[in-house]
């Protein structure tokens, strides 16, 4: 059954049977909303940089041809029947990965707008696969180069990075980074309703810490979004972002500690 599923898979990189049956399986997860036109190029660049990874695109109810183009480019596609937001799209990817018969060991999430250079997929994934950490976050500030966001956004990053650093007792330089590798235990855990489905950010780092997961940052280079606006922008203004993140961190700390994840196998 599992073999049949794998063989009938749409992703071309899975048609070749792996030489090593114990090979770790990785999934590259990209939430996308109205990314028609650029999604094909982004998928191709991931397939080139990480040919051993399946690419999963979560089309968050786009009103263009994002899903069809992603499918044509050889990605697995889950399409939301309506727009539900970035966090919900991420969680759909976690649920897909956790319930997939292909038993993915690691999941790397990145933005569909090409902001995240796919050559770091293996850097982040290998840290998780080594077993040293459960989550590896790509930070654009650990190396002083690449795209520097505008001042207002940087203030928020420094502020919430500081709060997250104090709470999690490790240095957090880029709390807003969506470029992350998650181990299987983490994305299985995030199927629960406790995952913040609207706009996950520094509060997720705190949630992970309180659930007992180990996280770290690795330097990555990020490009400026060519369009200038991604799913992170849009109608959510910076003011609401700051308010929501304060509230979210505050109530996350007030809540009972989250249930512990099942022990590692």
Contact between 151 and other proteins (CB under 8 A)?
no
- Residue 32 binds other proteins (CB under 8 A): no
Which helix (H) or strand (E) segment holds residue 225: the answer is none
Backbone angles phi, psi at 215, to 5 degrees: -130, 155
Per CB under 8 A, the list member of 99, 145, 226, 228 interacting with other proteins is 99
How many residues lie near other proteins (CB under 8 A)? Answer: 28
Contacts 24+ apart (CB under 8 A), 186-194: 186/134, 186/135, 186/213, 186/261, 187/93, 187/94, 187/97, 187/98, 187/107, 188/94, 188/98, 188/261, 188/262, 189/213, 189/261, 190/90, 190/91, 190/94, 191/91, 191/94, 191/95, 191/98, 192/259, 194/258
Enter the DSSP assignment of 198: S
Does 77 bind other proteins (CB under 8 A)? Our answer is yes
Q: Which of 16, 22, 82, 228 binds other proteins (CB under 8 A)?
A: 82
Q: Select the residue interacting with other proteins from 19, 150, 169, 193 (CB under 8 A).
A: 193
Q: Does 159 bind other proteins (CB under 8 A)?
A: no
Query: Does 80 engage in binding with other proteins (CB under 8 A)?
Result: yes
Among 24, 49, 52, 68, binds other proteins (CB under 8 A): 68
Window contacting other proteins (CB under 8 A); options: 91-99, 126-134, 147-155, 237-245: 91-99
Residue 5 as a binder of other proteins (CB under 8 A): the answer is yes
How far apart are the C-alpha atoms of 49 and 233, rounded to whole Å? 27
User: Which spans of this chain sit near other proteins (rule: CB under 8 A)?
Assistant: 5, 8-10, 58-59, 61, 63, 65, 67-68, 71, 76-82, 84, 88, 91-92, 95-96, 99, 193, 197
């Amino acid at each position: 059954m599992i073999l049949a599923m794998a063989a009938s898979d749409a992703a071309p990189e899975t048609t070749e049977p792996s030489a090593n049956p114990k090979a770790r399986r990785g999934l590259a997860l990209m939430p996308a909303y109205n990314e028609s036109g650029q999604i094909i190029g982004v998928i191709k660049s991931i397939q080139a940089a990480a040919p051993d990874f399946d690419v999963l695109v979560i089309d968050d109810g786009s009103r263009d041809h994002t899903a069809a183009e992603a499918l044509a480019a050889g990605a697995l596609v889950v399409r939301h029947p309506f727009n539900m937001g970035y966090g919900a799209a991420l969680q759909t990817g976690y649920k897909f990965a956790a319930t997939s018969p292909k038993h993915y060991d690691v999941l790397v999430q990145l933005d569909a707008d090409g902001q995240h250079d796919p050559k770091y997929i293996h850097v982040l994934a290998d840290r998780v696969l080594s077993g040293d950490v459960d989550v590896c976050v790509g930070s654009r500030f650990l190396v002083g180069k690449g795209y520097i966001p505008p001042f207002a956004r940087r203030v928020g990053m420094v502020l919430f990075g500081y709060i997250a650093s104090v709470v999690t007792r490790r240095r957090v330089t880029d709390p807003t980074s969506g470029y992350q590798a998650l181990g299987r235990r983490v994305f299985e855990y995030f199927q629960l309703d406790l995952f913040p489905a609207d706009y996950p950010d520094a509060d997720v780092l705190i949630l992970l810490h309180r659930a007992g997961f180990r996280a770290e940052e690795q330097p990555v280079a990020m490009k400026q979004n060519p369009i200038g606006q991604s799913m992170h922008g849009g109608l959510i203004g910076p003011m609401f972002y700051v308010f929501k993140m304060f509230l979210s961190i505050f109530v996350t700390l007030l809540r009972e500690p989250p249930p512990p994840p099942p022990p590692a196998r």
